[in-house]
Amino acid sequence: MTRGKRELGNDFGKLLKHLRQSKGYSLQELATLCNVTPSYLNRLEMGHRKNPSVNILEDIAMALGTGIDTFLGTKFDSIGREATLEELFFGNEIEWENKKLSANTKDSLLRICTTILAIEWTAETILEDLKRVGELIKELKEEI
């Protein structure tokens, strides 16, 4: 059975990149696992390609240890499993002040959240930690 193609939004590329990086895969490594070229994956991540086949989506999802529903925007409360931060940010529309957040804005927010969660926040490092978070917030505010 031949499966059709799906047009995915800009959030798909950002989600793909975050999931790939969270697994520690280079473009080459993930491409090898999915039997596609690194340049094809890069175009998906950059949003230049938005219509991978369902078979390719399945291969990518399997390689990243997630389900295809992650990329197709299925609501997480209806599939009965926990979602990663990446899936929450990029698998859903997020509104702030009655405006939908762009994929780039979601990416910036995700970087802020993951940075805050990863920091140890010790007395010795708190000023540098706050500076790092402040720089990410500044980037976000310039984007909005």
5 φ, ψ to 5°? -105, 155
Please give the pLDDT value at position 113. Answer: 93
* 87 vs 18: CA distance, rounded Å: 9
Contacts of 119 (CB under 8 A, 6+ apart): 125, 129, 132, 133
Q: Are 123 and 45 in contact (CB under 8 A)?
A: no
Please give the pLDDT value at position 27. Answer: 95
Nearest Cα to 71, choosing from 35, 39, 108, 34? 34
Better-scored residue on pLDDT, 82 or 79? 82
Indicate the residue type of 72: L
Confidence class of residue 78 from pLDDT cuts 50, 70 and 90? very low
CA angle 87, 52, 50 (to 5 degrees): 70
Please give the pLDDT value at position 77. Answer: 45
Please give the pLDDT value at position 70. Answer: 77
Please give the pLDDT value at position 76. Answer: 44
Asked if pLDDT for residue 69 goes beyond 90, the answer is: no
Asked if pLDDT for residue 1 goes beyond 50, the answer is: no
Q: Which of 11-15, 25-29, 78-82, 114-118 has the lowest mean pLDDT?
A: 78-82
Asked if pLDDT for residue 36 goes beyond 80, the answer is: yes
Largest Cα–Cα distance of the chain, in whole Å? 60
Task: Show the DSSP H helices in the chain as ranges.
Answer: 10-22, 27-34, 38-46, 54-64, 69-72, 85-90, 103-118, 126-143
Mean predicted confidence (pLDDT) in 118-130:
94
**Average pLDDT for the chain:** 84
